[in-house]
Structure 1
Amino acid sequence: MELVADTSAFVAIYRNEEAAGPCAQALARATRIFIPASCRVEAALLRRPGNDFFEWFRRFTSIPAYGSADLTEGVIDAATTAARFYGKGSGHPARLNFGDCLVYAVAKQRDLPLLFVGDDFVHTDITPALSLET
């Protein structure tokens, strides 16, 4: 199975949160994992003194199963639509932020499930990767 992975899944694994096991299993079972360009930038933003998440993320995603998902015109259009419908300020319960809209768009454009942790994407029409695991 191919999937798109959001930064939140990697953060859960790194911090050994409750969702770490299911996220790691989903990634291990995937034949191809697409990382939106926005997630790579977000991972860099999460870097703090004494916290090597960014370096861990770079090493973790350096194996051949991982690929980048570039911001094509189609992705940008889909992200704009997502922002208008699901974005903060839209009144929708998903309240997606800028990066979330880009991640959502990559998954929609590729017609792939999304691996994520949290309660934002569950309010959208995206197919969650973890529900496919059970």
Structure 2
Amino acid sequence: MILETSALICVLTEEPEAELYIRCMVSAIEPLTMSTGSFLETSNVLERKGNQNAVAELDIFIARAKILLLPFTESQARIARDCFRQFGKGSGHPAQLNFGDCFALALSLETGEPLLYKGDDFRWAGVRNALDDFIAR
């Protein structure tokens, strides 16, 4: 299962759906993974929210959940570039993915693993949500 920034922000900022996302992560058969690009984006979003301990909490969560941070590769960069061109902000596509979204999407497309995300932007791009698989079980 690939983790996207919005899912981790939901959990770490204790949004109403946080428990559901945690249960989904715990239920994963495959290892939890995250692009290093998404890791950086998550860190930046948490810092902008003003919680001084947020980045340390992210590091602790990643360690405890045994999330594997996978390097952003050249092949993923090419996939992400194509994704941003097709689905990115300013493309005219309803998904309107941001730059950071493309790190997670590229990893998911390259590996074939489901993406855990919050919201509908990825759904517009035709990406299945790992949360849907969890709820359907």
On whether the aligned pair clears a TM of 0.5, the verdict is yes
Matched letter for residue 40 of structure 2? V
Give deviations 1:16-54, integer Å, cap 9, x for gaps. 212212210111112301111112212321215544221
Task: Specify the alignment match of 1:5 in structure 2.
Answer: 3
Q: Is residue 84–residue 97 contact of structure 2 (8 Å, CA) maintained in 1?
A: yes
Mapping for residues 1-134 of structure 1, pairs under 5 Å: 3-30=1-28, 31-45=30-44, 46-48=46-48, 49-63=50-64, 65-134=66-135
Where do 5+ consecutive residues of structure 2 fail to align? none
> Of Structure 1 and Structure 2, which has the larger fraction of its residues in helix?
2
> Which 10-residue stretch deviates more, 85-94 or 17-26?
17-26
The structural deviation recorded for 1:64 is 6.7
TM-score, normalisation: structure 2: 0.88
Matched letter for residue 15 of structure 1? T
Identity of aligned residues (%): 29
TM-score, normalisation: structure 1: 0.90
Q: CA RMSD in A?
A: 1.5
The structural deviation recorded for 1:63 is 3.5
Q: After TM superposition, what 4+ stretches of structure 1 lie above 4 angstroms from structure 2?
A: none
Q: What is the rounded CA distance, in whole Å, between the counterparts of 1:27 and 1:60 in structure 2?
A: 12
